[in-house]
């Protein structure tokens, strides 16, 4: 990563626009007396939005507004790559993540495209001044590698073709949709769920009746595995949160997941908005399946802990919140 320092050529002065000056005052007022320095990043960001990059006079102005030593603001501005310390392309400044996961997944090809289309050298604008690029360290989207950041947005799961398409769009003055560029949602496996696959949401979709995904750390999925229903995981998490919320309202002690709603599954289903034709929530239906006679004792997902050697009678004699721990003591 390049050493970050202020540009050699700087403007003479900087002042926030009247609108941004008022905005800055509101930001500073949000922090307690003596803690105004907490507004340093928002103010630097606003200065960058106004000027296109963070100039030395802007850093001095921010230090003045916040009553901070200049060196403290310089430290912040030169540490974070989100702050551009020299002029960048008018239409897009492409920050290419070059850390290991992205590099292993093709960041080198993205850099080659930037060298060809924008400028051979990072931190230099294209001939028309519209684009610039640089290589930065991990931007926290490794699971969607390779990726770039342009302005506030990240563009992920890139290929050479999608990078070219992105640059074309910015060149036309468009603002392409951010996020994965290969069609997947966030960081979900593109070919369907590879975890929590034991949870069933419909009687005709029980784990025993569908092929299991055979994923490894790469997220590859067995071609025969059908995609999980799009909202399945969200619904499961929503139901868990709902139970925790109700437990908190009742003052219950925290418990392991999998407890039934005391008002019955139909009420729970109505609240989370998923009811099957029998009146059960999808999750309640899954629980009923898990609790069916002949099913092994274990967690609500129907998976017994391999070290759990207790009998059904042992487990029934324990308080509910202790049952899911194979050692008989409370978890977490």
By the criterion CB under 6 A, which residues form the site for ligand FES?
97, 99, 101-102, 138-142, 145, 147
When the beta carbons of 147 and 285 are compared against ligand FES, the nearer one is 147
Tokens at 240, concatenated: 């868990």
When the beta carbons of 24 and 113 are compared against ligand FES, the nearer one is 113
38: Cβ–Cβ under 8 A, 6 or more apart, which residues?
31
When the beta carbons of 52 and 106 are compared against ligand FES, the nearer one is 106
Tokens at 7, concatenated: 């540009």
Question: Minimum CB separation from ligand FES for residue 124, in Å?
Answer: 23
Question: Minimum CB separation from ligand FES for residue 147, in Å?
Answer: 5
When the beta carbons of 119 and 187 are compared against ligand FES, the nearer one is 187
Question: Minimum CB separation from ligand FES for residue 208, in Å?
Answer: 38
What is the β-pairing status of strands 92-97 and 148-150? antiparallel
Q: Tell me the CA distances in angstroms from 169 to 4, 94, 135, 180, 182, one per residue in order.
A: 29, 13, 21, 16, 16
When the beta carbons of 141 and 228 are compared against ligand FES, the nearer one is 141
269: Cβ–Cβ under 8 A, 6 or more apart, which residues?
275, 276, 279, 280, 281, 282, 284
Question: Minimum CB separation from ligand FES for residue 148, in Å?
Answer: 9
The answer to whether 101 touches 145, Cβ cutoff 8 Å, is yes
Question: Minimum CB separation from ligand FES for residue 217, in Å?
Answer: 15
When the beta carbons of 162 and 325 are compared against ligand FES, the nearer one is 162
When the beta carbons of 157 and 297 are compared against ligand FES, the nearer one is 157
């Amino acid at each position: 990563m390049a050493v970050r320092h202020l540009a050699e050529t700087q403007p003479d002065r900087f002042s926030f626009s009247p609108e941004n000056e008022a905005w800055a005052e509101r930001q500073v007022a949000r922090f307690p007396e003596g803690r105004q320095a907490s507004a340093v990043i928002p103010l630097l960001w606003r200065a960058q939005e106004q000027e296109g990059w963070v100039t030395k006079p802007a850093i001095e102005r921010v230090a003045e507004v916040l009553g901070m030593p200049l060196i403290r603001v310089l430290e912040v501005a030169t540490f974070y790559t989100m702050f551009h310390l020299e002029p960048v392309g008018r239409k897009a400044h492409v920050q290419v993540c070059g850390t290991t996961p992205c590099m292993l997944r093709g960041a080198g090809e993205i850099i080659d495209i930037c060298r060809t289309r924008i400028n051979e050298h990072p931190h230099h604008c294209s001939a028309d001044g519209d684009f610039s690029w640089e290589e930065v360290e991990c931007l926290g989207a490794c699971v969607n590698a390779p990726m770039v950041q342009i302005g506030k947005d990240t563009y992920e799961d890139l290929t050479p073709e999608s990078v070219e398409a992105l640059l074309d769009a910015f060149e036309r003055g468009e603002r392409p949709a951010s996020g994965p560029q290969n069609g997947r949602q966030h960081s979900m496996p593109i070919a369907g769920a590879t975890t929590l696959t034991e949870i069933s949401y419909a009687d005709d979709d029980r784990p025993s009746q569908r092929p299991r995904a055979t994923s490894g750390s790469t997220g590859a999925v067995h071609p025969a595995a059908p995609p999980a229903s799009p909202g399945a995981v969200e619904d499961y998490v929503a139901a868990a949160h709902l139970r925790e919320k109700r437990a908190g309202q009742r003052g219950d002690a925290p418990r392991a997941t999998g407890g039934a709603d005391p008002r019955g599954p139909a009420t729970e289903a109505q609240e989370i908005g998923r009811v099957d034709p029998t009146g059960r929530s999808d999750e309640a239906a899954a629980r009923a399946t898990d609790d069916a006679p002949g099913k092994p004792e274990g967690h609500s997902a129907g998976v017994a802990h391999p070290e759990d050697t207790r009998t059904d009678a042992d487990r029934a004699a324990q308080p509910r919140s202790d049952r899911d721990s194979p050692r008989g003591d409370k978890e977490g």
